[in-house]
Amino acid sequence: MTDGQNKLDRDLEILEAMAAEMEEYLRSSVLFWPMARGDLPRLTLGGYLMRQHRLTALRHLLGEKEVARLDAAVEKFNQALVEKVVRFESRAHEELHARLRQWGEYLNDLNDTSGAAGDYYESAVETRAMIAALVEKLQMPPYRLEERVAQQLGLLDNNLRRRWQPGDFVWPEAWQPAYPQSEYWWLYGRPR
């Protein structure tokens, strides 16, 4: 089994657990929700949506049972959102602002002359993928993306483009079809 496949299997496990706790999460005021299972990352809308995007786009790599599990988790997530448009939108924007700050701080760390921040780009860029997933969801009716989020993201992307070195896809090769270069250019290379 490839590293990409192992990570997809782990994504599915995380997605299912997040979907199971989504309704409770949306009722809470906690942005980074500690999952019942301590070996899983904290639940956020961005973390869930990033995994849902990847798994849905790469469902052809999953077995029949895994596809059924994915569909069940997505259905559970969708059920958690029923009659929670305002709550979802508010929580998604709250996370977006936190993720944009986090991504901006990482980009500022790239200015450090040691270059250490660039060494962990492939893990740091997960924040940018969560931002992309949140923005995509908020651009779908009935949701509305705050204009200032798009402006701030544009500034951060321009900051990264100024130091961008195009190159290979930074995540497992099997994931590449989920992230076309035209839209996810920041996964194809590294900052210099």
**pLDDT at 187 (0 to 100):** 98
**pLDDT at 4 (0 to 100):** 67
**pLDDT at 116 (0 to 100):** 66
pTM: 0.94
SS3 140: coil
**pLDDT at 113 (0 to 100):** 61
Enumerate residue ranges in the chain where pLDDT < 70: 1, 4, 113-117
The radius of gyration of the chain's CA atoms, rounded to the nearest angstrom, is: 17
Q: In 99-133, which positions are buried (b, 16+ CB within 10 angstroms) versus exposed (e)? A: bbeebbebbeebeeeeeebbeebeebbebbbbbbb
Tens-digit pLDDT profile for residues 16-69? 999 999 999 999 999 999 999 889 999 999 999 999 999 999 999 999 999 999
% residues pLDDT > 90 (the chain): 87
**pLDDT at 137 (0 to 100):** 97
The token pair that represents 17 in the structure block: 């657990």
Report the candidate in 147, 151, 157, 143 with the shortest Cα–Cα distance to residue 187: 157
SS3 137: helix
CB of 95 within 8 A of CB of 31?
yes
